[in-house]
Structure 1
């Protein structure tokens, strides 16, 4: 009898945890959404096709604002948000920070029938804390996984007080389709957004990452200084600049431009010629951005200087940027304007 009592007592915490998790899931899952996107793909012959993909997100306001991962929506020409009851709404990108892989999108039409989540304080999260994740891995909608915080990493720029990116590491199961989904603490508060996994098998190998909610708020929720351009680009280093005959030591090679985005309206062009470098495929033939507002894009220091200048601008000054681009061997200037 004594041994039986010990077994029962030892099993109680897991039972209580399971009951708590079940209640929390029922409470917060109506705020979790599935995000379907369509991206235009153009090949070297100019033939156009569309590729569909799926991710996750979470409703954070009664104005229809949703947080997700930047890579889920960055190249999307069409974004559809699906709630747990099957209702679908079109959405648009409001702000996006690729460096931290976070984005804020907003529903174009919203009936305000769904509860927004509460955002927690990721600075108060410790390694070993219990967490759970809701998302759509492999298209399996509203799937729940649980785990712990395994670690925390911070990437800072040389700009004083400015954090480029901050991520939680977790052992909670994360797979394709989970991207952008919320990571919750055991109070039902969002403390992170699922970003990526480290995998040798292509599936989940026990190491996943989520952008912390505090940095997410800093970059795309509370700040109006982040602008979505509609550009998918890669940084040009000195070697690539030499191969592409770029008249300076660096730049941004435009891979693709989203239709009706600020970059599209500025008549910027992406590439459609595949080029392999260090086993990585990039597209060449598109415009190369040489400078933004007369700040040359030749080094990390210059890019940081540009972002720093944005934070010093008045709102009216941030309504447009002057770009110097290389197109067909010739340098020209264009103006990229942003809607209010």
Structure 2
């Protein structure tokens, strides 16, 4: 009987330690997790602009006020507000963004440097079955904690010279609306991923969530200064859609919307305002269609890869200006897309 009690106690000790460890980790890292509120101006058919608000999560990664989040949280935002755990709010702007992996780097316009920055881990060391936890604001519930494991790991097929477009962890840690952009931590309290999306038949969490790995995030928006935020929300035009829209080539990028005061806005690029059902997907037509970037036609995935390769061969000065050929109301035009020297 005594042996049984001792054995039960020994078995229970690791569970208590693990619970305490997670509690301690949460207290340590949660002050670096932020809520991100955005406002997007949406033009209706009468030309009136209505503002729509949305919310996501993010994580502070530097003493300069740099924050990682999901690209879809901030890509179309006209106004971005970051809220810390103590309720203080700061305006922010997009610095770099990669929609292909759904990751973005934003920076506070001004910053009181007394919040701890999170430590970034090495997602290449993560194995399926590893314990992880996620902190975010699901349904507006700020600094909510959920725990799970790494259920899988996926890499996009498209690669170029060792450069991975996208890499995701699959997890069963509970993820819901508002978690997007929030950090996924390992049990050392290091960020190994950014929450991106879920697969759901119910509309809520069904046990399958995804986060972009931190190593690809570093590659795309932290360590690289080669990517620029344009302020364009666009969709790739395939051959069938090109025929429907009378595009004089088998592809392009249809601009859905343009963020005010963004580089695309300054270049006078226009978004659409007419809803259109393209199969199972609703898109917005009537906006400019980008046909070429720096004389590289946008007609296939291969051409897009060629364009990205060209960026990595450019000088810093060359990367600040891009020549676009666009189609607007059936007429060709050329515009120069210029970026500030420092974003």
TM-score, reference length from structure 1: 0.99
- Give 1:80's aligned residue: 81
Unaligned regions of 5+ residues in structure 2, if any? none
Instruction: Give, in angstroms, the shift of residue 230 of structure 1.
Output: 0.2
Post-superposition CA distance 1:83-117 (Å, at most 9, x none): 00011000000000000000000000101110111
Q: Secondary structure at the match of 1:315?
A: coil
CA distance in 1, matches of 2:13, 2:130: 19
Q: How does 1:115-264 map to 2 (within 5 A)?
A: 115-264=116-265
Is the deviation greater in 289-298 or in 155-164? 155-164
- Give 1:6's aligned residue: 7
- Give 2:98's aligned residue: 97
Asked if structure 1 preserves the Cα contact closer than 8 Å seen for 2:159 and 2:165, the reply is no
CA distance in 2, matches of 1:14, 1:154: 34
CA distance in 1, matches of 2:296, 2:231: 20
Is the deviation greater in 74-83 or in 148-157? 148-157
CA distance in 2, matches of 1:13, 1:177: 33
CA distance in 2, matches of 1:302, 1:73: 27
CA distance in 2, matches of 1:20, 1:307: 43
Q: Does 1:50 align with 2:51?
A: yes
Q: Secondary structure at the match of 1:263?
A: helix
Post-superposition CA distance 1:183-210 (Å, at most 9, x none): 0011111000000001100100001001
Instruction: Give, in angstroms, the shift of residue 158 of structure 1.
Output: 4.1
Instruction: Give, in angstroms, the shift of residue 10 of structure 1.
Output: 2.1
Q: Does 1:113 align with 2:117?
A: no
Q: Secondary structure at the match of 1:303?
A: helix
- Give 1:321's aligned residue: 322
- Give 1:15's aligned residue: 16
CA distance in 2, matches of 1:159, 1:211: 18
CA distance in 1, matches of 2:99, 2:53: 20
Unaligned regions of 5+ residues in structure 1, if any? none
Q: Secondary structure at the match of 1:10?
A: helix
CA distance in 1, matches of 2:334, 2:37: 35
RMSD: 0.8
Instruction: Give, in angstroms, the shift of residue 6 of structure 1.
Output: 2.9
Q: How does 1:292-331 map to 2 (within 5 A)?
A: 292-331=293-332
CA distance in 2, matches of 1:157, 1:145: 32
CA distance in 1, matches of 2:130, 2:296: 44
Is the deviation greater in 37-46 or in 303-312? 37-46
Asked if structure 2 preserves the Cα contact closer than 8 Å seen for 1:156 and 1:162, the reply is no
